[in-house]
Amino acid sequence: MKKRNLIFIVTLMIAAAFAFNTSLALAKDMTKEDFEKEALKHITTISVAEAKALFDKGGVTFLDVRTEKEYKKGHIPGAKNVPRGKLEYDIGKDIPDTNAPIVVYCKTGGRSCLGTYTLVRMGYKNLKSMDGGWKAWTKAGYPID
C-alpha cells in the first residue's frame, strides 16, 4: 500500500511540474503585440472622431491611463488620470460605478487597449478604447487642457 501511494504522489508531482513549466513557456513567448491582439477580441474600440462625438454629447468619463507626467503635459478636458500601472488598485476610488460609460485613452492606443481589457475583466461594462489615443486627439485639433 505504501509503494502504491508513493507512486501516486510522484506521478502527481511530475504532472504538476510539467503543467507549471508549460504555462510558463506559453506566457514567456507572448509579446506586447500578442497581449494587445488578445485584448482586442474582448473590447470595443472607437475612432477619435467617435470619441469626440461622445465628448460633445457629454455624460461619458474619459479615462487617461498614461503616466501622471504625461497627463500633466496635456489631456482631454475633464479626463480622470489613473495610470495603467495603478489601474487595478485605484479605479474603484475614481470610478466606482461599473456601469459608467467610459472612454479609455493613452498616447497611441496600446495601453488603453490593455487597460480597457483589464477593466472588462474587473466587471466594468460600458467601455470603449479610443484608437490612436492622445496623438490622434491632438492631431485632429480637438480641445485639450
Q: Are residues 50 and 120 in the same domain?
A: yes
Q: Are residues 65 and 134 in the same domain?
A: yes
Q: Which residue, among 125, 123, 106, has the nearest Cα to 51 in the 3D structure?
A: 106
- Coil, strand or helix at 124: coil
**Is 113 a known active-site residue?**
no
Write the pLDDT tens digit of every residue in 3-57. Answer: 666 565 656 556 655 555 544 445 568 888 888 888 889 999 999 999 999 999 9
CATH classification at residue 118: 3.40.250.10
Q: Which domain holds residue 20?
A: 2-30
CA 72 distance to own-chain centroid: 21
The pTM of the full predicted model, rounded to 2 decimals, is 0.78
Burial class of 130 by CB neighbour count within 10 A (0 to 12, 13 to 18, 19+)? buried
pLDDT in tens, 41-53: 999 999 999 999 9
Pick the catalytic residue from 106, 113, 114, 119: 106
